[in-house]
Chains A and B, each alone.
Chain A
Amino acid sequence: GAVVSQHPSRVICKSGTSVKIECRSLDFQATTMFWYRQFPKQSLMLMATSNEGSKATYEQGVEKDKFLINHASLTLSTLTVTSAHPEDSSFYICSATGGADYEQYFGPGTRLTVT
């Protein structure tokens, strides 16, 4: 089956620093990748959609300069949280689709803690 990995699984960083999270599709080419954020006991909220080779599309209220997304290849998308603050602490989850159908394959998530 389709496998999506994320790295790192957990990261702690200091306020004001930047953190990069990687999302990889391991056994298929992902034409589209999605980034979600999930706060404790809440649902997944879509942050942005990224298509390989083009700029990401951000959902309303998500700052594109703060959450930099790069989808440089068909198997890798990265999310960089710039100048992180404690309120950015969250569970970040990516998903990928191969484009043949609507099914999204989810990564295991990255727990970000900003101190």
Chain B
Amino acid sequence: GESVGLHLPTLSVQEGDNSIINCAYSNSASDYFIWYKQESGKGPQFIIDIRSNMDKRQGQRVTVLLNKTVKHLSLQIAATQPGDSAVYFCAENKDDYKLSFGAGTTVTVRA
């Protein structure tokens, strides 16, 4: 089975609110994690990444948190905008450069 998974398949958020998307992984040896955004009919777009020697990393309006103790990864989006509506995937690096993707969370932003 998949070693990376998401807690909730969908998330509805009011425009302007913060979004939190969660991901659980099972391979404690994974050392690199990435969040991708995928809009309908397009390829995944890199959002932010984090290595296992860190527990937090911030980007523009996004923050990734890594809790290695419970093998949990989250993506926080500040001040969610309509353009943030998409499917979000977490991915882990398992082996060499291979990535294993989680199931995905569909984020819908309400105006």
- Using a CB–CB cutoff of 8 Å, the interface residues on chain A facing chain B are 4, 6, 32, 34, 42-46, 49, 91, 93, 95, 97, 99, 102-109, 111
Residues on the B chain within 8 Å of A93, using CB: 43-44
- Using a CB–CB cutoff of 8 Å, the interface residues on chain B facing chain A are 2, 32, 34, 36, 41-46, 49, 89, 93, 96-104
The 8 Å CB contact of B98, one of A46, A105, A111, is A46
Residues on the A chain within 8 Å of B101, using CB: 43-45
The chain A residue sitting closest to B32, CB to CB, is A102
Residues on the A chain within 8 Å of B46, using CB: 103, 105-106
Q: A42-B104, A103-B49 are in contact. List 18 more A-B contacts (CB 8 A).
A: A4-B43, A43-B89, A43-B102, A44-B44, A45-B101, A46-B100, A49-B96, A49-B98, A93-B44, A99-B97, A102-B97, A103-B34, A104-B99, A105-B46, A106-B36, A108-B42, A109-B41, A111-B41
Distance of A97 Cα from B46 Cα, bound (Å): 13
Tally the A-B contacts, defined by beta carbons under 8 Å: 52
Distance of A46 Cα from B101 Cα, bound (Å): 9
**Can you name 8 A-B pairs with beta carbons within 8 Å?**
A43-B2, A43-B89, A44-B44, A44-B89, A44-B101, A49-B97, A102-B32, A103-B34
Distance of A97 Cα from B44 Cα, bound (Å): 14
The chain A residue sitting closest to B90, CB to CB, is A43
The chain B residue sitting closest to A36, CB to CB, is B101
Residues on the A chain within 8 Å of B89, using CB: 43-44
The 6 closest A-B pairs by CB, nearest first: A106-B43, A43-B101, A44-B101, A109-B43, A108-B43, A106-B44
Distance of A107 Cα from B93 Cα, bound (Å): 19
CB distance from A38 to the nearest CB of B (A): 9
